[in-house]
Amino acid sequence: MFALVDCNSFFASCEQLFRPDLIGKAVVVLSNNDGVVVARTKEAKQLGVKMGEPFFQIRQLTQQNRLTVFSSNFTLYSDLSRRVMQTLENFCPVIEIYSIDEAFLDLSGMTINDLTEFGYKISTTVERWTGLPVSVGIAPTKTLAKIANETAKKNETKICNLQDESECIKTLQKFDIGDVWGIGRRLVVSLRRLGLRTAYELSQVDPLWMRKNFSVIQEKTVRELRGEICFEVDIPQTRKSIQVSRSFGDSTSCLADLEEAAASFAIRAAEKARTDGTVASAIYVHVNTSRFKKNKENYYSNGVIVPFPEPTSNTIEIIAAAKKGLRQIFIPNLQYKKATVILLNLLDAKFAASQKTLFDKNESYSQNQKETENRLMSSLDEINHKFGRGSIFFGVEGIQQPTWRPRHNMKSPCYTTNINDLPIAK
DNA sequence: TCTGGGGTCCTAGGACCC
DNA sequence: TCTGGGGTCCTAGGACCC
List protein-proximal bases of chain C (any atom < 7 A from a CB): 12, 14-18
What's the N-to-C CA distance of chain A in angstroms?
46
pLDDT at A6: 98
Give the relative orientation of helices A365-387 and A255-276 as an angle to the nearest 10 degrees. 90
The answer to whether residues A336 and A287 touch, using CB atoms and an 8 Å cutoff, is yes
pLDDT at A316: 94
Q: What share of chain A in percent tops pLDDT 90?
A: 85
What's the average model confidence in pLDDT over A236-248? 92
User: Distance (Å) from CA A388 to C1' C2?
Assistant: 76
> Is the pLDDT assigned to residue A92 strictly greater than 90?
yes
The answer to whether residues A23 and A154 touch, using CB atoms and an 8 Å cutoff, is no
A264 touches strand B (CB under 7 A): no
Confidence of residue A296 (pLDDT cuts 50, 70, 90): low
- Residue with the larger pLDDT of the pair A400 and A181: A181
pLDDT at A216: 94
Q: Report the C-alpha gap between A358 and A371 in whole angstroms.
A: 17
CA–C1' nearest nucleotide, residue A248: B4
302-331 of chain A touching strand C, CB 7 A cut-off: 305
Own/partner contacts of A192-199, CB < 8 Å, gap of 24 or more, are A198/A172, A198/A173, A198/A174, A199/A147, A199/A172, A199/A173, A199/A175, A199/A225
Q: Under 8 Å CB-to-CB from A424, ≥6 apart: which residues?
A: none
β-strands A68-70, A95-99 pairing: unpaired
User: Distance (Å) from CA A182 to C1' C17?
Assistant: 8
pLDDT at A363: 57
Confidence of residue A401 (pLDDT cuts 50, 70, 90): confident
pLDDT at A150: 97
Confidence of residue A317 (pLDDT cuts 50, 70, 90): very high
CB atoms within 10 A of CB A22: 17
CB atoms within 10 A of CB A125: 15
State how far Cα A305 lies from the chain centre: 23
- Structural domains in chain A plus CATH codes: 2-160 (3.30.70.270), 164-225 (1.10.150.20), 242-397 (3.30.1490.100)
